[in-house]
């Protein structure tokens, strides 16, 4: 096929979670989501939760947060992409209403962001008004690709 | 202008659904979403709801549906993007409790995933907790599926 531009050097990463992490938020704790597996690509630090941009440009981030063990007291969930350039909130809802029968919820979004060389990006998740029992579930993922 | 690289021929499509699909879920039935109008792009089957990758690579997928006919008992609603190699849960919530006054609720999700040449991708939705009375409303604005190869 002609006219397809293939770039093997496009910065990208796919970070996933191999097993759930319990008790990460729920009481207002702002949890930097730590994905323990770099499934593809490069630039993601599984210890800090930061992606570091190897090239400047505009990136598209794909974020999925899976929450389990959500209680009726957990009335607020805020999910943000935090970059060196700025913080971008993309989900703010009453999690206790949104959670399904099994007390879980999955929220996903695309977030575009400008990144300069060596800028970092991470996902920050804050659930409030209850106790710190909300679990960060393994369906969650954090992905990014440089668009231009 | 020099130095602009036009990658507008990346495989991509946008499709929406203009026909209400009545009573397709609500009792736990898993329904394959149909998008009967291809707005642009190609390699999308408007009868089956299946996209076929013509080139391998990393694709972004975005899906949105609006349910109709909800009641308070329908407390679980999910959307999956299903590719040949991986099933991606992209949304899970409580449409019954969060529904609008007209008993509708919009659920959406997105993901980035790898596709090999010839791989397929489609979406399913499932609402549980009651009888099979939940519809997917026909709406070109609220019910759509799109994909684009990124690299």
Mean pLDDT by runs of 10 across the 148 residues of chain A is 59 98 98 98 98 97 98 97 96 97 97 97 98 98 96
A contact test, residue of B28, B80, B88, B92 with most A CBs within 10 A: B92
**CB-closest option in A98, A106, A145 to B151:** A145
Phi first, then psi: give them for residue B39, nearest 5 degrees: -80, -45
**CB-closest option in A40, A60, A108 to B90:** A108
Q: What is the pLDDT of residue B99?
A: 97
Q: What is the pLDDT of residue B8?
A: 57
Q: What is the pLDDT of residue B9?
A: 78
pLDDT tens series, chain B, 151 aa? 445 555 557 999 999 999 999 999 999 999 999 999 999 999 999 999 999 999 999 999 999 999 999 999 999 999 999 999 999 999 999 999 999 999 999 999 999 999 999 999 999 999 999 999 999 999 888 999 999 999 9
Q: What is the DSSP letter of A101?
A: T
Residue found by looking up tokens 């009573």 in the block: B23
Q: What is the pLDDT of residue B81?
A: 98
**CB-closest option in A1, A5, A99 to B94:** A99
Q: Say if CB A124 and CB A88 are below 8 A apart.
A: no
**Max CA separation in chain B (angstroms):** 60
Phi first, then psi: give them for residue B109, nearest 5 degrees: -170, 170
Complex-level ipTM: 0.92
Beta-carbon separation of B58 and A109 below 8 A: no
B contact test, residue of A4, A81, A90, A97 with most B CBs within 10 A: A4
The B-side interface with A (CB below 8 A) comprises 5, 7, 9-11, 54-55, 57-58, 60, 62, 75-78, 88-94, 97-98, 109-112, 114, 128-129, 150-151
B60: which chain A residues are within 8 Å (Cβ-Cβ)?
60, 62, 110, 145
Q: What is the DSSP string of B90-108?
A: EEEE-HHHH--TTS-EEEE
């Amino acid at each position: 096929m002609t006219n397809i531009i293939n770039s093997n050097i496009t910065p990208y990463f796919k970070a996933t979670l191999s097993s759930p992490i319990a008790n990460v938020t729920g009481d207002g704790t702002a949890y930097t989501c730590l994905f323990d597996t770099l499934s593809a690509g490069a630039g993601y630090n599984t210890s800090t939760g930061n992606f570091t941009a190897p090239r400047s440009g505009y990136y598209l981030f794909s974020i999925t947060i899976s929450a389990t063990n959500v209680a009726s007291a957990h009335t607020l969930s805020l999910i943000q992409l935090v970059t060196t350039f700025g913080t971008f909130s993309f989900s703010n809802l009453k999690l206790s209403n949104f959670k399904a029968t099994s007390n879980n919820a999955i929220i996903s979004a695309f977030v575009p962001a400008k990144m300069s060389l060596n800028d970092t990006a991470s996902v920050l998740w804050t659930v409030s008004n209850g106790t710190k029992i909300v679990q960060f579930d393994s369906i969650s993922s954090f992905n990014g690709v440089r668009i231009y | 202008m020099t130095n602009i690289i036009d990658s507008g021929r990346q495989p991509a499509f946008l499709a929406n659904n203009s026909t209400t699909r009545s009573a397709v879920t609500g009792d736990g039935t898993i329904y394959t979403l149909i998008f009967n109008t291809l707005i642009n792009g190609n390699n999308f089957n408007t009868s089956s709801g299946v996209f076929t990758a013509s080139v391998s690579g990393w694709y972004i997928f975005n899906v949105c549906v609006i349910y109709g006919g909800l009641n308070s008992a329908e407390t679980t609603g999910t959307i999956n993007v299903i590719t040949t190699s991986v099933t991606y849960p992209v949304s899970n919530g409580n449409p019954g409790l969060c529904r609008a006054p007209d008993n509708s609720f919009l659920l959406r999700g997105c993901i980035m995933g790898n596709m090999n040449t010839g791989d397929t991708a489609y979406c399913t939705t499932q609402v549980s907790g009651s009888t099979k009375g939940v519809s997917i409303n026909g709406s070109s604005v609220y019910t759509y599926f799109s994909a684009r190869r990124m690299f």
